[in-house]
């Protein structure tokens, strides 16, 4: 019995280590190439293993693709030095993100940091970068508070604060949808809670009745208990903040429950991805979503990026990839203008950024309590006949909004 | 009322499939007295095999299961024979080494899956994936129901196997007292190999049944290891019936928690029950019936 107890203790410890310590592979690259030419190191922290690895891989690929393009144009040599990207894996976990940031700053002596996928990890990296006084340019992490702390070393260009993802949506709500009641569901992550908070506030200001408001644990199999509860409240519009696979399960299970609303709106993240359409199948039809970027947006280079990425990696990128791609351009631009490669020199260069990217114009401004935050342009898109169409703002629309959407049973 | 019914039925159906995965773990734990932390990874491998069968040959996941199970049986046997049994033989300083070994196996399996399939989410969409039938107001998912009944059928077959066949009896004998079983002429190393094989095959079956409902990525194993671990403790180590009760309890608890508390806390409900069981019935449900 003693032996079993011993084993048991060991097992519990190991599980503890797995949860806390992470169990993905390390991500450091050998430093061999750095030897010859002097380099400016840029540390990039992305989830290359763990549950968010799919996005991390897309962002890494996009950054490398942008790097190659910049290199071909001779823009990776700044002030006689070559820009060198050093990727670190945050294993989709916060403690690993912290360790990666500290390693890059203390051991590799990077000039600046970039990356940051999930909001939770981005927050950790930002805290580390701020306390060490190293500029950190965020790629994706979008919880509001990250740029609301007055942290002068933290820059967010390609990602909007989560509560501002919905800019275009509110315009659309005011002019077309005019909902009386809405239901709100969101994953209980930093991003989800942040988006929900923003949404809730605007609803209150506009006097829209929130009839259902619930968080869920991401990675659940069965959403029906929540959806069945929500169905009883009979909302005009459902607003949901989810990552891609949760998104497809939710819409599929809504169809199974025969739960009809006038419009189902996703809050960025999952609902615009090609995987969403693949996995949700015909349940994805007429689902609308807010988004920061789609390939057929008007910005120069967006469509080219989409095409090139698809050819090179055999997969369709989404806005996460575009963020990483644009971020690489911002980095090269800022380092190219930096007076010197001290943290302060780079910070000033970043601050005076005014660059046109595939994510639109990027400027780091201080507004509404945000610091070094780009003012985002957002869109509302809708899946129509298996294609993602821009439906709002009207001047950028590629198709007309279908509203209210047909009931599940009326569709063929 | 229909909401309550819907909740409980969903919980039971899901719990049945959890139970199937947990039975594999509890079987291994009962016989070898080690916790197999690679169990979730084995579920994952089973799911990928089923997935590949579906993608390459259009084989329905329920048929793909018939390929995944023997494959996992083989993998399980090999792991036990050439890895774990070797460690048992050398009489290492720490018996915990075996548990550490399973962690290593888990990491290798996960990373190999990542190497082959990348980190992308994958899923299988069959004609019946989102079909449902209605009982009154309650919408019940077809693949979930089918999965539940197949899971129960496997459990029943396993029960017959353990109680009616010589090999099954040897497995139970080894689980109860390995030394005594050896004196009675049971070939214990062979029994452990077969047990690990069966445990892995059941893990694969559980994974295949979930595939039409859920999705798949290389790290999915952690989820199942955690669930199977909780169920095994709930039910009592090494008890098949305990695992069924444990699985159903966890399924219903999660479902009720999701409906009546909040979906964000559904895992908390399961874990609170887990804590209470550890505190008040440390032997699991099994200990309640045996006394």
Query: In B, residues 101-160, which contact A (CB 8 Å cutoff)?
Result: 103, 106-107, 110-111, 114, 118-121, 123, 125, 129-132, 139, 141, 144
Q: Does residue B246 have a pLDDT over 80? A: yes
From chain B, pick out residues whose CB is under 8 angstroms from the CB of A221.
Answer: 14, 210, 213-214
Residues in chain A: 412
User: CA–CA separation, B282 vs B280, rounded Å?
Assistant: 6
| Cis peptide bond N-terminal to B205, omega within 30 | no
C-alpha dist (Å) from residue B214 to B119, B129, B169, B220, B249: 16, 10, 36, 10, 21
User: CA–CA separation, B263 vs B216, rounded Å?
Assistant: 21
Tokens 């916790």 map to which residue?
B35
From chain B, pick out residues whose CB is under 8 angstroms from the CB of A6.
Answer: 95-96
What was the pLDDT predicted at A14?
55
Distance from CA of A200 to the nearest CA of B (A): 18
Task: Kindly give the residue spans of alpha helices, DSSP state H, lying in A234-301.
Answer: 244-257, 274-280
Q: Is B48 exposed, middle or buried (0-12, 13-18, 19+ CB in 10 A)?
A: buried
- Name A238's bridge partners: A183, A264
pLDDT one-digit tens code per residue, A45-99: 999 988 888 889 999 999 999 999 999 999 989 888 999 999 999 998 999 999 9
Given an 8 Å threshold on Cβ–Cβ distance, is B95 in contact with A220? no
Lateral strand order in the sheet of A379-384:
A209-216, A181-187, A237-241, A263-267, A288-291, A379-384, A387-392
Given an 8 Å threshold on Cβ–Cβ distance, is B99 in contact with A49? no
User: CA–CA separation, A54 vs B120, rounded Å?
Assistant: 5
Helix (H) / strand (E) containing B168: helix B166-176
Asked whether the CA dihedral B185, B190, B194, B196 is positive or negative, the reply is positive
pLDDT one-digit tens code per residue, B160-192: 999 999 999 999 898 888 889 989 989 988 999
List, in order, residues 6 or more apart from A22 with CB less than 8 Å away: A50, A91, A93, A95, A96
Beta strands in A235-359 (DSSP E): 237-241, 263-267, 288-291, 354-357
Query: In A, residues 46-75, which contact B (CB 8 Å cutoff)?
Result: 49-51, 53-54, 56-57
Tokens 């908070």 map to which residue?
A197
Q: What does residue B267 show for φ and ψ, rounded to 5 degrees?
A: -70, -30
CB A391 within 8 A of CB A381: yes
What was the pLDDT predicted at A307?
92
Q: Does residue A24 have a pLDDT over 50? A: no
pLDDT one-digit tens code per residue, B54-72: 999 989 999 999 999 999 9
Query: In B, residues 216-245, which contact A (CB 8 Å cutoff)?
Result: 217-219, 222-223, 226, 229
State the CB neighbour count (10 A cutoff) for residue B116: 10
Given an 8 Å threshold on Cβ–Cβ distance, is A220 in contact with B263? yes
Query: In A, residues 284-343, which contact B (CB 8 Å cutoff)?
Result: 315
Token pair belonging to B183? 């004196």
Token pair belonging to A160? 């909007």
Tell me the average pLDDT across B243-268: 87
Mutate which of B54, B96, B221, B247 to disrupt the A interface (most A C-beta within 10 Å)? Answer: B96
Helix (H) / strand (E) containing B19: helix B2-32
What was the pLDDT predicted at A140?
92
Distance from CA of A221 to the nearest CA of B (A): 6
User: CA–CA separation, A300 vs A257, rounded Å?
Assistant: 43
CB B51 within 8 A of CB B122: yes
Beta strands in A306-392 (DSSP E): 354-357, 360-363, 365-367, 370-373, 379-384, 387-392
Given an 8 Å threshold on Cβ–Cβ distance, is A54 in contact with B266? no
Model confidence at A329, pLDDT cuts 50, 70, 90, reads very high
Grouping H, G, I as helix, E, B as strand and the rest as coil, residue A293 is coil
From chain A, pick out residues whose CB is under 8 angstroms from the CB of B259.
Answer: 225-226, 228-229
User: CA–CA separation, A63 vs A76, rounded Å?
Assistant: 13
Chain A and chain B share a number of CB contacts under 8 A equal to 144
CB A397 within 8 A of CB A390: yes
User: CA–CA separation, A99 vs A87, rounded Å?
Assistant: 13
Q: What does residue A161 show for φ and ψ, rounded to 5 degrees?
A: -60, 140
- The interface predicted TM-score (ipTM) is 0.81
Distance from CA of B25 to the nearest CA of A (A): 14
Beta strands in B110-161 (DSSP E): 132-135, 138-141
pLDDT one-digit tens code per residue, A182-231: 999 999 888 888 889 989 999 998 889 999 999 998 878 888 888 988 98
């Amino acid at each position: 019995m003693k032996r079993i107890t011993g084993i048991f203790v060991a097992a519990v410890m190991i599980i503890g280590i797995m949860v806390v310590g992470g169990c993905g592979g390390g991500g450091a690259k050998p430093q061999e190439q750095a030897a010859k030419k002097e380099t400016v190191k840029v540390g990039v922290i992305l989830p290359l293993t763990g549950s968010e690895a799919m996005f991390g891989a897309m962002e890494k690929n996009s950054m490398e693709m942008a790097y190659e393009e910049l290199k071909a144009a001779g823009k990776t040599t700044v002030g006689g030095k070559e820009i060198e990207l050093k990727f670190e894996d945050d294993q989709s976990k916060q403690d690993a993100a912290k360790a990666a940031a500290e390693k890059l700053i203390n051991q590799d002596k990077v000039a600046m940091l970039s990356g940051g996928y999930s909001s939770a990890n981005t927050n950790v990296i930002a805290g580390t970068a701020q306390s060490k006084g190293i500029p950190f340019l965020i790629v994706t992490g979008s919880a509001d508070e990250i740029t609301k702390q007055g942290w002068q070393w933290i820059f967010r260009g390609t990602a909007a604060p989560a509560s501002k993802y919905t800019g275009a949506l509110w315009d659309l709500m005011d002019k077309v949808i005019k909902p009386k009641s809405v239901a709100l569901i969101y994953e209980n992550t930093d991003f989800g809670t942040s988006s929900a908070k923003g949404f809730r506030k605007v609803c209150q200001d506009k006097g829209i009745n929130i009839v259902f408001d619930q968080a869920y644990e991401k990675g659940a199999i069965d959403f029906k208990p929540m959806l069945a509860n929500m169905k009883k409240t009979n909302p005009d519009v459902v607003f949901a903040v989810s990552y891609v696979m949760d998104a497809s399960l939710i819409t599929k299970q809504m169809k199974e429950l025969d739960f009809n609303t006038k419009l189902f709106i996703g809050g960025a993240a999952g609902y615009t991805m090609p995987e969403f359409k693949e996995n949700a199948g015909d349940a994805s039809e007429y689902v609308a979503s807010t988004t920061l970027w789609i390939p057929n947006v008007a910005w120069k280079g967006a469509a080219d990026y989409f095409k090139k990425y698809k050819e090179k990696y055999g997969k369709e990128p989404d806005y996460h990839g575009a963020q990483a791609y644009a971020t690489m351009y911002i980095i090269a631009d800022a380092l190219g203008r930096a007076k010197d490669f001290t943290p302060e020199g780079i910070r000033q260069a970043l601050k005076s950024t005014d660059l046109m990217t595939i994510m639109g114009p990027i400027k780091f401004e201080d507004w509404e309590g945000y610091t070094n935050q780009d003012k985002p342009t957002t869109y509302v898109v809708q899946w129509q006949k298996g294609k993602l169409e821009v439906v709002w703002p009207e001047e950028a629309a590629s198709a007309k909004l279908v509203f209210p959407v047909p009931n599940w049973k009326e569709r063929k | 009322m229909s909401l309550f019914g819907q909740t409980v039925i969903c919980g039971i159906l899901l719990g049945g499939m959890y139970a199937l995965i947990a039975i594999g773990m509890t079987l291994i734990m009962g016989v070898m007295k080690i916790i197999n932390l690679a169990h979730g990874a084995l579920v994952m491998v089973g799911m990928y095999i089923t997935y590949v069968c579906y993608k390459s040959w259009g084989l329905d996941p329920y048929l793909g299961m018939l390929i995944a199970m023997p494959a996992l049986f083989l993998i399980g046997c090999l792991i036990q024979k050439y890895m774990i049994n070797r460690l048992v033989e050398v009489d290492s300083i720490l018996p915990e080494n075996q548990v550490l070994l399973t962690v290593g196996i888990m990491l290798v399996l996960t990373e190999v899956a990542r190497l082959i399939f990348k980190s992308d989410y994958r899923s299988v969409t069959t004609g019946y994936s989102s079909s449902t039938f209605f009982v009154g107001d309650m919408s019940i998912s077809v693949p979930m129901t089918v999965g539940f009944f197949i899971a129960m059928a496997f459990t029943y077959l396993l029960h017959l196997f353990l109680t009616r066949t010589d090999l099954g009896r040897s497995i139970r004998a080894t689980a109860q007292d390995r030394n005594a079983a050896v004196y009675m002429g049971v070939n214990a190393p062979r029994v452990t190999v077969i047990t690990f094989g069966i445990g892995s095959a059941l893990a694969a079956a559980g994974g295949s049944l979930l595939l039409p409902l859920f999705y798949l990525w290389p790290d999915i194993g952690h989820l199942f290891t955690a669930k199977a671990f909780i169920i095994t403790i709930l039910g009592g180590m090494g008890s098949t019936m305990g695992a069924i009760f444990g699985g159903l309890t966890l399924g219903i608890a999660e479902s009720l928690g999701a409906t009546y508390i909040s979906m964000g806390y559904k895992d908390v409900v399961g874990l609170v029950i887990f804590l209470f069981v550890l505190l008040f019935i440390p032997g699991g449900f099994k200990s309640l019936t045996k006394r």
